[in-house]
Amino acid sequence: KTDLFVQHVAPDAIEGALGVAPRIDETSNAFPDAYAGRWSGDKPLEGANFYYDAMGLIGLALQKAQIGPDGRADATSLEQAIVKAAAPPGVSVTWNEVEPGMARTVAGETIYYSGLTGPMLLDNCGSRKLGVSSEWTVAGGVVAPWTAP
């Protein structure tokens, strides 16, 4: 679901095509602007939100995991820490509060990550329980939201 896709495919081949993509809850310009400020003006693709959330969640989970004498977190401890860092109870830490969230975790506070892509509620296998999608189409050579006729 990117304009780059449309630019590299014959326009007639995809005009009117329908697609489904994960929906992103964060709609402000704060993340794209911060990203652009860091990466020479480049704006992030929507997928960057999911990658950023994954790294934010794992960073906070590593602070919660029990670290052994060898400096490593065992898999079970890390898995439990990810589940705990993904949902309440605790204080919500947003995408731009990861570093202070880590410090709060070290200080003993209970925190959880509230990402760019919406709630991070996980099932027993670690898959996201809650997720919504958006529908899109190619209209006039651009990716546009699709609505049922």
- Tell me the pLDDT tens digit for each residue of 10-19: 878 889 888 8
Under-70 pLDDT residues of the chain: 118-123, 126-133
Kindly list the distances between the CA atom of residue 73 and the CA atoms of 14, 65, 68, 89, in Å, as whole numbers in the listed order: 47, 6, 6, 23
The SS3 call for residue 47 is helix
Task: Kindly report the pTM of this predicted structure.
Answer: 0.70
In the chain, DSSP finds a helix count (H) and a strand count (E) of: 6, 5
Tell me the sheet residues that pair with 142. Answer: 139
| pLDDT (0 to 100) of residue 36 | 94
Q: What is the model's pLDDT at position 128?
A: 63
Q: What pLDDT does residue 127 have?
A: 66
Q: What does the pLDDT read at residue 33?
A: 94
Helix, strand, coil share of the chain (percent; to 5): 40, 20, 40
